[in-house]
Amino acid sequence: MHDGCAGSFENDRQVVDKVRQMGFDKQPMPMPLDIKCVECGETFEMINFEDKCPQCGMVYGVTPCHTFDPENVKPAGINY
């Protein structure tokens, strides 16, 4: 599923699953990112490695190795 920073994921939910498995889901990222929600279009500040759109509940995740670019933030599903 994932092999360090060089690993890849088969789908976006696996990113959130990995963040949870590593115990980073509730930890703050080094620098928050502005994310435009793919579901409702709302822009929100993503603070933790796993975060949720306050408008529609879409859950997003990013692994610690990839927090430098918003393109690495992946949606997992509403209230996933």
DSSP type of residue 20: H
Distance set, CA 22 to CA 25, 27, 30, 35, 63 (Å)? 8, 11, 16, 22, 9
- pLDDT tens, the chain, 80 aa long: 445 565 678 899 999 999 999 999 999 999 999 999 999 999 999 999 999 999 999 999 999 999 999 999 999 999 99
Contact 25, 62 (CB under 8 A): no
CB atoms under 10 Å from CB of 4, counted, come to 7
